Amino acid sequence: MSKTALVISGGGSKGAFAVGVLKAIYQHNPGLNFDLLIGTSTGALIAPLATSGSIPLLEQLYTTVKTDNVIETNNVGNRFLTADSIFGVGPLGKLIQQYYTDTFFQSLQAQPCNVLLATTCLQTATAVYFSTRKAAAVKGYEVVPLGKADHFRRAVMASACQPVFMPPIEVIPGAVPLRQYVDGGVREYAGIQLAIEQGADEIFVILLSSGLNKPVEKRYTQVPDILLRTIEIFTEDVGDNDLEMPQMYNKALDYLNSVRQNMKQSGMSDQQIGQLLSVPGNPLSNKRPVNLHVIRPDGDLGGGTGGLNFDPAEMKGMVAKGITVMNNYIAGLPPGSSILV
């Protein structure tokens, strides 16, 4: 049975671009249902609400919140020396509590889709995904199903917390052994490979970085800015790797299929072809091609270093940009695409 997945990367306020992309997707196909929704950082805030009926709420949130509605930036000097993070996240916690209520979590669990939230465990250094439903075990990942609304809210918060700037979160308080979690982007900027391993055949990937790696012409003089820029550079590199591997497998599988066709046209039987290509240790033996829709901005979105500047006017522009980029992408698709109805 084919599965469709939505993967949203991290990027702070740049998540407004993803909201615009989703708005355009549902305008073209309001009946589209995702089987898997995988979010990292700001993507983890969006993924639980990424259905056609929730787009107005997402657009409202991502065009009205300001920086002080998300983080506490006062008293940075003292916090740098004594606290577990440079910024406080009390305001973000209130937003999560307000919108991801117990009732919301119960309704989410009742849906057939699975929402997975990317985090990184500080103690084990592993990529850990917290899910609303039980998921298949996958080598290289830890997937933890959540049964309580409070744990779900804490997992959303953990995924959104950039380490150093925001505190690590115990998703399950009091768990033994101790486990603290931070932004999933430390290990995986976009959970494309997890979507593939969970059986997705068609994957919509919304990346919040352009991938152009243009120089940022400014002098960095303050520790927070330098740290944020360093994390940003590291995260973009992780993101490129997350995208490169599935694309490489797709190209390799297409090439292998072309080889099979050429061998068949030369008169070889399917059995002969199978024998020749059945090489021990073949890295493509259990791989299958997937249909990747990669949507990302064609330039810098703004949002400040690390996406921690939440400016409503700027974010409205990001939403508009997301709509434009997605509409342009759809315009280039062949007739019969699953996005089009």
Rounded to whole angstroms, how far apart are CA atoms 217 and 195?
Answer: 36
For 235, phi then psi, to 5°, come to: -65, -40
Partners of residue 169 on adjacent β-strands: 181
254 located within any domain? no
Query: Considering only CA atoms, which of 185, 198, 159, 307 is closest in space to residue 240?
Result: 185
Which residue carries 């306020």 as its tokens?
Answer: 13
28 located within any domain? yes
Number of structural domains the chain divides into? 1
- List the catalytic residues: 41, 183
* Contact criterion met (CB below 8 Å) for 134 and 126: no
pTM: 0.84
Rounded to whole angstroms, how far apart are CA atoms 212 and 72?
Answer: 31
Which residue carries 């998300």 as its tokens?
Answer: 70
pLDDT at 297: 93
pLDDT at 158: 96
- The 8-class DSSP code of residue 52 comes to G
pLDDT at 65: 95
283 located within any domain? no
Distances (CA, A) of 180 to 40, 81, 133, 230, 267: 16, 20, 21, 22, 60
* Contact criterion met (CB below 8 Å) for 131 and 142: no
pLDDT at 20: 97
Rounded to whole angstroms, how far apart are CA atoms 230 and 234?
Answer: 6
Q: What is the pLDDT along the chain (341 residues), one digit of tens a residue?
A: 679 999 999 889 999 999 999 999 999 988 889 999 999 999 999 999 998 789 999 999 999 999 999 988 776 655 655 567 788 899 999 999 999 999 999 999 999 999 999 999 999 999 999 999 988 878 778 999 999 999 999 999 999 998 888 899 999 999 999 999 999 888 888 888 888 888 888 999 999 887 666 677 778 776 667 766 766 665 666 556 656 666 655 555 555 567 667 777 888 787 777 766 676 666 555 666 678 899 999 888 888 877 889 999 999 999 999 999 999 999 988 877 767 65
Sign of CA dihedral 323, 328, 331, 336: negative
Give the domain CATH number at 309: 3.40.1090.10
Which residue carries 């992780």 as its tokens?
Answer: 238
pLDDT at 7: 95
Instruction: For the chain, give the number of residues.
Output: 341
Q: Which residues, in sequence order, are CB contacts of 329 under 8 Å at separation 6+?
A: 293, 295
340 located within any domain? no
108 located within any domain? yes
* Contact criterion met (CB below 8 Å) for 311 and 10: no
77 located within any domain? yes
pLDDT at 248: 59
Rounded to whole angstroms, how far apart are CA atoms 173 and 151?
Answer: 8
Q: Quote the domain boundaries for residue 58.
A: 4-211+218-225+290-332
For 262, phi then psi, to 5°, come to: -65, -40
265 located within any domain? no
- Using alpha carbons only, give the angle 121, 149, 171 rounded to the nearest 5 degrees: 15
285 located within any domain? no
Rounded to whole angstroms, how far apart are CA atoms 116 and 133?
Answer: 9
